[in-house]
Structure 1
Amino acid sequence: MSQPSASRLIAALEEEVGATLFSRITRAVTLTEACDVPDCVDAILTALGDADHEARGAGELRGSLRIGTPISLALREIIPRPPAFVEQHPALKIELRLTDRYPDLVTEGIDVSLQFGALPDSSATARELHQPRILTTSPDYLRERGTPTMPSDLAHHSVNRQSSASLADIFLRQGGCITSVRVDRQLSITSTKASPQARSPGWG
Structure 2
Amino acid sequence: MDRYQAMTTFVRVVETGSFSAAARQLGVGQPAVSKTVAQLEARLQVSLLIRTTHGLTPTEAGQNFYERARNAIQEADEAERAAKGAGIGLSGRLRVSAATTFSRLHVIPKLPEFLAAHPQLDVDFLLDDRMIDLVAEGVDISLRMGALSDSTAVAKKIATGRRSVIATPAYLARAGIPRHPADLANHDTVIYSQLPSVWSFTRDGAAVSVSVSGRLRVSAAEGLRAAILADMGLTITSDWMFAPELEHGAVVRVLEGWSLPPIDLWAVFPAGRMMTAKARQFAEFVGDLMNSTP
Provide the TM-score with structure 1 as the length reference.
Answer: 0.64
Render the CA deviation track for 1:145-167: whole Å, top value 9, x for unaligned: 332111221133232132211x2
* Paired amino acid for 2:121: L
Q: Is the 8 A contact 2:194 2:219 kept in 1?
A: yes
Q: Which has the larger helix fraction?
A: 2
Q: How many residues align?
A: 154
Alignment of structure 1 residues 115-130 onto 2, 5 Å: 115-128=144-157, 129-130=159-160
User: Partner residue of 2:182?
Assistant: 152
Where structure 1 has 5 or more consecutive residues not aligned to the other structure, the ranges are 6-50
Output the CA distance in 1 between the equivalents of 2:190 and 2:183: 16
1:69 Cα deviation from its structure 2 partner = 0.8
Output the CA distance in 1 between the equivalents of 2:176 and 2:109: 38
1:169 is aligned, of 173, 198, 219, to 198
Render the CA deviation track for 1:109-130: whole Å, top value 9, x for unaligned: 1111112332223411012342
Output the CA distance in 1 between the equivalents of 2:167 and 2:225: 8
Q: Residues 126 and 175 from structure 1, CA distance in 2 versus in 1: closer, same or farther, beyond 3 angstroms?
A: farther
User: Partner residue of 1:14?
Assistant: none
User: Partner residue of 2:165?
Assistant: 135
Q: Residues 132 and 178 from structure 1, CA distance in 2 versus in 1: closer, same or farther, beyond 3 angstroms?
A: farther
* Paired amino acid for 1:181: V
Render the CA deviation track for 1:84-130: whole Å, top value 9, x for unaligned: 21111111111111111111101111111112332223411012342
User: Partner residue of 2:211?
Assistant: 182
1:178 Cα deviation from its structure 2 partner = 5.5
SS of the equivalent of 1:105 reads: coil
Q: Is the 8 A contact 2:92 2:120 kept in 1?
A: yes
* Paired amino acid for 2:191: R
User: Partner residue of 1:19?
Assistant: none
Output the CA distance in 1 between the equivalents of 2:160 and 2:205: 16
Output the CA distance in 1 between the equivalents of 2:206 and 2:143: 28
Render the CA deviation track for 1:9-59: whole Å, top value 9, x for unaligned: xxxxxxxxxxxxxxxxxxxxxxxxxxxxxxxxxxxxxxxxxx974523554
SS of the equivalent of 1:115 reads: strand
User: Partner residue of 2:143?
Assistant: 114
1:174 Cα deviation from its structure 2 partner = 5.0
User: Partner residue of 2:38?
Assistant: none
Alignment of structure 1 residues 1-204 onto 2, 5 Å: 53=82, 55-56=84-85, 59-128=88-157, 129-165=159-195, 167-172=196-201, 174=203, 179-199=208-228, 200=230, 202-204=232-234
Percent identity at matched positions?
Answer: 31
Moved more, 128-137 or 88-97: 128-137
Output the CA distance in 2 between the equivalents of 1:52 and 1:194: 43
SS of the equivalent of 2:102 reads: helix
* Paired amino acid for 1:63: G
Output the CA distance in 1 between the equivalents of 2:107 and 2:113: 12
The answer to which structure, 1 or 2, has the higher relative contact order (CA under 8 A, 6+ apart) is 2
* Paired amino acid for 2:176: G
Q: Residues 142 and 72 from structure 1, CA distance in 2 versus in 1: closer, same or farther, beyond 3 angstroms?
A: same
Q: Which has the larger radius of gyration?
A: 1
1:201 Cα deviation from its structure 2 partner = 5.1
Q: Is the 8 A contact 1:69 1:115 kept in 2?
A: yes
Q: Residues 94 and 173 from structure 1, CA distance in 2 versus in 1: closer, same or farther, beyond 3 angstroms?
A: farther
